[in-house]
Amino acid sequence: QVQLVESGGGLVQAGGSLRLSCVASRSIFSIALMGWYRQAPGKQRELVATIAGGSTNYVDSVNGRFLISADNAKNTVYLQMNSLRPEDTAVYYCNARNRPLLGSPWEEWGQGTQVTVSS
């Protein structure tokens, strides 16, 4: 498995930008899927973006504003968030999911980082 440490959250005004980072304890090159989720108070956790095999996907509400990327040399996945809106306010979580050839499938979560967007 892998340990994930997230950072980059904070307070930002509407229209501003933040970049979240997820640093893994080992190489992420062979991990099947890395993703970012978010959870606002009183709401269920929502998948925001994924990256796997060079392909990226986004939930409609962030498409065109957010970008997910990976730097394999730094064992880090990023979420660049632009044109932030108050409704983007949530705790953002990094997720890793893998099914290795040897061993059982596994999934790990980061601790979460708070993003607050003021109007």
Q: Pairing relation of β-strands 113-118 and 10-13? A: parallel
What span, in angstroms and rounded, lies between the C-alpha atoms of 110 and 93?
Answer: 6
Report the pLDDT averaged over residues 13-37. 94
Whether 1 shows a pLDDT value over 90: the answer reads no
pLDDT score of 101: 85
Contact 10, 115 (CB under 8 A): yes
* pLDDT of 100 above 90: no
Proportion of the chain above pLDDT 70, given as a percent: 100
